[in-house]
Amino acid sequence: MDENLPLNEYVNHHKGSYDQFYKESLENPEKFWQEHSKIIDWYRNFDQVLDQSSAPFYRWFTNGKLNVSYNALDRHVKSFRRNKAAIIWVGEDGREKIVTYHGLLKRVNAFAKALIDSGIRKGDRVAIYLPMVIETPVVMLACARIGAVFTVIFSGFGASAIAERINDCGAKVVITADGGRRNGKIIPLKNIVDEALEDTKTVETVIVLKNTQNEVDMVEGRDFWYHEVASDERALVEPERMDSNDPLFILYTSGTTGKPKGVVHGNGGYSVWVSNTLKWAFDPKEDDRWWCAADIGWITGHSYIVFAPLLLGLTSIMYEGSITYPGPDRMWQIVEKYGVNILYTSPTAIRMLMRYGDSYPKKYDLSSLRILGSVGEPINPAAWHWFYSVIGSDRCPIIDTYWQTETGGFIISPSANLGIGPLKPGSATFPMPGIAPVILDENGNECKENEKGYICIQRPWPGMMLTLNGDDERYVKVYFSRFPGRYFNGDFAMKDKDGYYWLLGRSDEVIKVSGHRLGTIEIEDALVSFPEISEAAVISKPDNVKGEAIISFVIPKRGITPDRHLSERIKKEVRERLGPIIVPEEIHFVESLPKTRSGKIMRRVLKAVYLNQIPGDLTTLENEASVEDIKNAIEMLKKEKI
Ligand code: WTA
């Protein structure tokens, strides 16, 4: 490990400034957050920095009043940033739209008026199922402006995933598009919404953006065209004065049970957190072009394509589609054309692009890059070195940001703005200011140096979620009961002798496929809903590009003879219902599954057998024959493939 990598201007940045800053954040949090909450303009100052009286429902900046869209737009429009590019949108086919802060505010006002005209008010729930188009941040900011709580549903999800989310949050309106573009194809979003709405009761209005011009059915009285309802370019909608702890959005994410968790983020703490963490970690400059190459359907896109960059008045690049379409040089082309200064992407994207070799990036001038970033899963050293050398020409530090949907923003990451010191490839380095991590063993004792354990956070921080939608009890149970008083997030980690944190993957039933967070139990639920299947178990196998790939084992019902047609049909239907990311790569038909005597499926045994490893302790296994059965099924599928 080379501890003295050259880090352009950051090489001279002494880590001491970070240490001091971090220390202050923990020693005097009141003063620290009083100071750093000023990154936001408040209509009314808060009474208290942190109210812990109903812990673990921590409330930040109590009784403070603000509006997120005012902070992201109006205040910049009043400044020298009026005509600055807020968003540079790049289409898959190379079209571009440059929207200034003033232009974005006009669009947001027009849509906020459309929402009000449809009867949407503060506290109402809005579902957004849009592709990566300019209107997505417009709709999110319009909701924030009027205080409607939005939930963005990833446009790769299928009808039943949409219905489940709409039903959980009780959305009154859905904003969608005729279609979205991905890899040169059109995904018929409106048709998928129509199918989802057959299983929902709360939706009164559907607003449809004309984007890909494909045919759609419009339901009289329910469905309206976006360009018709949001046509008032001169609309002025006064921003609602939101309480710091009013919800801003809900984002569904996978956990250890089948039902996705509706993570609720608030207005005040979240805004303070995302804007400060972006500033600390990536040190963006006024004239930078910042590109977070994520999808807005996930938390990374919420926090770091939309909210943090706009709150800071930066120029945020937004790319519509696949990073390998039309060719594997798409990303480098965009970096050169727009002079991207900070590029924030994922290990899975890096590994995918790396496979195409160095010739693609080498064709482009990437000298505008100053800082690189990674998120979503631990970055393996090979990908780190390629990113560092081939893309960053050994000049740009890699900011490996570790965080989660629930944390709102980065929690462990190098801080370019405060001083990073030497990096270690694969380590997310040190905690963000205000974050007090601890690594615990099974019994809740602190782990020693280099000892793997459960990473927890010992104190609240402003970006943490408020609760899980409609389920306070689950919030307490999932995050605060394993190690009482501490936030437990499900990841393994260790700390080395120099105090660097190394993230070591999930400790629970959550897997990461191409950076997407999926619950194995969600996938199992989808499989057992087929009339031909009685039981299912899902594991993951390591995958060189995706990080992990989904492998499933299913028991067919009596009288069903499984064959390739059945597995193809299952894959097709899962794709339609839940979306392509949830489709298992392999389906193995078995007669039994390894279970404990109490009937719990032993995924650990399945995984070991699958990976040809020693399955470990089998004393709790009830049916040893299942192991042979699984081995046979795996062999069968291999043979069929030949
Ligand atoms: C994993 C994505 C290692 C981790 C922002 C976490 C990471 C889960 C990193 C959250 C990283 C994310 N290094 N692991 N830099 N970033 N993870 O909610 O397992 O989609 O718990 O949020 O991704 O995934 P989520």
Q: Where are the domains of the chain?
A: 7-322+401-494, 514-638
Distance 567 CA to ligand 1 centre (A): 31
| CA–CA separation, 374 and 350 (whole Å) | 9
Please name the amino acid found at residue 315: T
Q: Which residues contact 234 (CB under 8 A, 6 or more apart)?
A: none
Place of tokens 């549903």: 153
Tell me the β-bridge partners of 261.
253
Global pTM reads 0.94
CA of 506 to the centre of ligand 1 (A): 9
Best of 411, 503, 518 for a ligand 1 pocket test (most atoms within 8 Å of beta carbon): 503
The yes-or-no verdict on residue 7 having pLDDT over 70 is no
For ligand 1, atom 7, the nearest C-alpha belongs to 377
Is 616 strand, coil or helix?
coil
Ligand 1: does its nearest atom lie under 6 Å from the Cβ of 548? no
> Is the distance from the beta carbon of residue 546 to the nearest atom of ligand 1 less than 6 Å?
no
- Long-range CB contact pairs, 325-334, < 8 A, 24+: 325/92, 325/182, 325/183, 325/184, 326/92, 326/184, 327/360, 328/353, 328/356, 328/360, 329/360, 329/361, 329/363, 329/364, 331/293, 332/360, 332/361, 332/363, 332/364, 332/366, 332/391, 333/364, 334/90, 334/291
Confidence of residue 4 (pLDDT cuts 50, 70, 90): low
Euclidean distance between CA atoms 490 and 503, whole angstroms: 11
Q: How far apart are the CA of 455 and the centre of ligand 1, in A?
A: 12
Percent of the chain with pLDDT over 90: 83
Ligand 1 center to 427 CA (angstroms): 13
Q: Residue 497: pLDDT above 70?
A: yes
132, 296 Cβ separation under 8 angstroms: yes
pLDDT of 6: 55
Fold match flag (7-322+401-494 vs 514-638): no
* Alpha carbon nearest to ligand 1 atom 4, residue: 377
Residue-wise pLDDT tens digits, 276-335: 999 999 999 999 999 999 999 999 999 999 999 999 999 999 999 999 999 999 999 999
Give the single-character DSSP code of 557. Answer: P
Question: Ligand 1: does its nearest atom lie under 6 Å from the Cβ of 424?
Answer: no
Helix, strand, coil share (%) of the chain residues, nearest 5 = 35, 25, 40
Q: Closest by alpha carbon to 345, among 365, 313, 369?
A: 369
Q: Does position 210 have pLDDT exceeding 60, yes or no?
A: yes
Mean per-residue pLDDT of the chain: 94
CATH number, domain 514-638: 3.30.300.30
CA of 468 to the centre of ligand 1 (A): 18
512 Cα nearest atom in ligand 1: 23
Quick one: which atom of ligand 1 is closest to the CA of 406? 18
| Contact between residue 466 and residue 473 where contact means Cβ atoms under 8 Å apart | no
**C-beta of 378 in contact with ligand 1 (< 6 A):** yes
Confidence band, pLDDT 50/70/90 cuts, at residue 224? very high
Contacts of 189 (CB under 8 A, 6+ apart): 129, 130, 131, 155, 176, 177, 178, 179, 180
Q: Is 400 in the pocket of ligand 1 (CB under 6 A)?
A: yes
Question: Cβ(295) to ligand 1 under 6 A?
Answer: no
513 bridge partner residues: 516, 547
Q: DSSP characters for 67-107?
A: -HHIIIIIHHHTTTTTTSEEEEEE-TTS-EEEEEHHHHHHH
Q: Which CATH architecture has domain 7-322+401-494?
A: 3-Layer(aba) Sandwich (3.40)
List Cα–Cα distances, 166 to 289, 448, 618, in angstroms: 35, 45, 43
